[in-house]
Chain A
Amino acid sequence: MTQDADVLVEIDDVYKHFPIKQGIIFKREIARVHAVDGVSLKVRRGETIGIVGESGCGKSTLARCITGLHPITKGRIIFDGQDISRLRGRALKPFRRDVQMIFQDPYGSLNPRRRVGAIIGDPFDIHGTASGAERKKRVQELMELVGLNPEHYNRFPAEFSGGQRQRIGIARALALKPKLIVCDEPVSALDVSIQAQVINLLKDLQQELGLTYVFIAHDLSVVRYVSDRVAVMYLGKIAENARGEELYENPRHPYTGALLSAASIADPDAAERRERIVLSGDVPSPIRPPSGCRFHPRCPKAQENCVDVVPELIVRGGDEAGHLTACHYPVEPAENLAEEHAAIEQLSTEPTLPSA
């Protein structure tokens, strides 16, 4: 297999559907949730790829597919030259050492009945890499690395605050010196002042240990700050994929534009100047995703064409190589998206104010 040596993970047309079953003995499949629907993505060594999208867009499912927590329905995930979607059982063990995950909820992801030292030391036991005094030493090194006091080795998770718990989760993920860490909303459960501490820590560790991150978040400013590349997902598909700054400076997909304009800005003048693109309606159900372009029921630029034809994720006219957009009518630089009106009928969520 020819492979770009620079690419650590290649996600090739991956599908993940969850069947919805009904019946007591003979369970029939009555529908399926199209959580991830044909996603292709390359993650290069040492870079951070950010995945943004709203709840239900499939970003967490994709993360779990990459770490092998979900078997995928269709497609290939090639990690370091090996197709991991075909591996089973024992053959997966080396892969599991190389890929680790940091979870969103620092309360739910740590066993409350086990001591911190045991939680962080587990990976050593499972993979048989260190035991006894050696294991304790390695755990304390890790605790120091993530800014925890190594003397707190024997404490329980309940004795730590949210930010410190997230550090415990990070130490556990680092234990086996992984190549890739998938961070699923690692800071969204934390207070603003603590968020910055954890983001700085993740960045420092990346530089020091040469880590590759897949960073999932719904907060665009956080993703902008940490990522080299950003992929925007909507209902199981990638809407736009580009270099970080390029995506923020020159968004081509109307959904990206709307998402960016919706982000909060802590600057009164800038916040008043910007025009919020207020989308109509809610995210549709991934059980019956809309036909054609999945964004068409909410898109301010939707045309007849968008209802029937699925747009390809390709480089659009005038964009730099590597800036991929899945839209028939990408946003032009001088265009004002807030003043566009769809050419098709859409469900309106405009308030009907009483005529006074």
Chain B
Amino acid sequence: MSLLEVRDLKVSFDTSDGLVQAVRGVSFAVERGKTLGIVGESGSGKSVSTQTLLGLTAGALIDGEALFEGQDLLAMSDAQLRRVRGKEIAMIFQDPLSSLHPLYKVGRQIAEMIRQHEPDMNKAQARKRAVELLGMVGIPEPEQRVDDYPHQFSGGMRQRAMIAMALSLNPKLIVADEPTTALDATVQAQILDLMLRLQREFDTALIMITHDLGVIADLADDVLVMYGGKPVEHAERRSLYYRPHHPYTKGLLESIPGSTGAKERLKPIAGQPPSLINLPSGCTFHPRCEYVMDRCVPEEPPLAAVNDKDGFPDLGHMSACWLPHEAAGLSADAERIRQEAVAEGRSGDTTVVDAGEAK
């Protein structure tokens, strides 16, 4: 049994502008000690889907199942969920400054978290544990720093403190929502290095949410790419980076500067991300897709297995696209298959939106 199994999760918000369909059916599983990377642009539903698991999306309309060690998180009462949240599943947010209370000392906030779940522990013990944890995440002189306020910490140190807090109860799963986006490159390297070492040490499962495919290239075991509230591709890390099938994944990889050669012109994805209120028909990516075919406009493609290198369907590599299953990867061969499919599947009047290129 997987540690966490999410089945067909749907989340929407009723707003005055209309129903915002933030997540429209996501399924994934996380195994013990493994890392799942979730990648997507702003508005792809990557954060909402994980926040929903922990009951952090108040007012949302939720449908689906999320089995954590066999128990459905979405069906739990607030009291039950409170026992899981923090103790079994911990969360690290993007902005460490707004996730720490500015008026309480860092150590006290960590100790409070511990005592909440372990009532037998007295204050002195909890404080001692907080000092240990701060040392564990590499904060120098933890005995002194435990009595600092969050504003006395630098950005990197605050994120370390958040990690210490997440680790404090030895959770089985940590959800990290863009944990390094607000940090500088050298500090980002420190934090990623730290998370990796601690994960190995404690055999924790990790869900890492990011918009940058570069951050999780050496971190994730599996990667899930989301677009417009739905998963578009889900694969083992190497398959995803080297044999992307969905044009959106391919576009993301190709739009990274330097990916196609040092000074070659960049290949952006045309157009803008979709509105979650008025989603495009069929495949939500079709208005931006360079391989759009006639059937993409009315029919939404299901997740289907992509062929592996030897031509057999790889059940660990799923993609929601009408292109042939063998058209995976960035090679000329795969491109030829794609072009042939497009030539056959397009009647001619399907126009791709203006790329927004300069005249």
Contacts and interface: CB of A to CB of B under 8 A. Distances in A.
A218 B185 contact: yes
Interface stretch (B82-90, B97-105, B130-138, B311-319): B130-138
B358 A146 contact: yes
Interface stretch (B18-26, B28-36, B108-116, B191-199): B191-199
B147 interface: no
B184 interface: yes
Nearest to B219: A271
Interface stretch (A33-41, A79-87, A92-100, A257-265): A257-265
B237 interface: yes
B95 interface: no
B193 to A, nearest CB: 5
A282 B157 contact: yes
Interface string A171-210: 0000000000000000000011111110111011100100
B190 interface: yes
Contacts of B354: 147
Contact of A194 (B193, B267, B272): B272
Nearest to A57: B184
Given A147-B358, A225-B257, A200 B265 contact: yes
B212 interface: yes
A194 B356 CA distance: 10
Interface in B58-114: none
Contact of A266 (B160, B201, B256): B256
Contacts of A208: 358
Given A193-B41, A195-B255, A351 B198 contact: yes
B185 A350 contact: no
A267 B185 contact: no
B331 interface: no
Given A264-B217, A353-B197, A54 B140 contact: no
B137 A351 contact: yes
A89 interface: no
Given A161-B272, A264-B214, A192 B358 contact: no
A267 B272 contact: no
A276 B214 contact: no
Interface in A254-312: 258-259, 261-272, 276-279, 281-283
Contacts of A331: none
Which of A194, A261, A356 has the most B CB atoms < 10 Å from its CB? A194
B273 A262 contact: no
A196 B257 contact: yes
Chain B interface size, as a band, is: 35 or more
Contacts, number: 171
Given A147-B358, A282-B154, A351-B138, A220 B185 contact: yes
Given A200-B268, A266-B241, A283 B184 contact: yes
Secondary structure call for the B interface:
loop
A349 B189 contact: no
Contacts of B174: none
Interface string A319-356: 00000000000000000000000000001111111101
A261 B192 CA distance: 13
B138 A266 contact: no
Given A263-B185, A276-B189, A196 B218 contact: no
Given A194-B272, A268-B241, A54 B187 contact: yes
Nearest to B215: A264
A131 interface: no
Contacts of A347: 140
Contacts of B255: 192-193, 195-196
B266 A147 contact: no
A130 interface: no
A222 B186 CA distance: 16
A109 interface: no
Contacts of A271: 214, 217-218
Contacts of B355: 197
A35 B190 CA distance: 25
Contacts of B184: 54-55, 218, 283
A245 B211 contact: no
B350 interface: no
B215 A197 contact: no
A144 B214 CA distance: 34
Contacts of B214: 263-266, 271
Contacts of B201: 353, 356
A351 B257 CA distance: 34
Interface string A145-156: 111000000000
A225 B185 contact: no
Contacts of B251: 193
Report the 5 A-B pairs with minimum CB-CB distance, sorted nearest first: A264-B214, A196-B268, A54-B184, A225-B257, A262-B189
Interface of A: 54-55, 144-147, 161, 163-164, 167, 191-197, 199-201, 203-205, 208, 218, 220-222, 224-226, 245, 258-259, 261-272, 276-279, 281-283, 347-354, 356
28 contacts: A54-B185, A55-B184, A147-B357, A147-B358, A163-B272, A193-B251, A194-B268, A194-B269, A197-B356, A200-B357, A201-B356, A203-B265, A204-B358, A218-B185, A225-B266, A259-B186, A261-B189, A262-B186, A266-B217, A266-B259, A268-B217, A268-B218, A271-B217, A276-B189, A279-B190, A349-B138, A352-B136, A353-B201
Given A167-B356, A262-B186, 20 more contacts: A146-B358, A191-B211, A194-B272, A196-B268, A196-B269, A197-B270, A197-B355, A199-B257, A205-B358, A208-B358, A259-B186, A263-B185, A264-B188, A264-B217, A266-B213, A266-B214, A266-B217, A270-B217, A279-B186, A349-B140
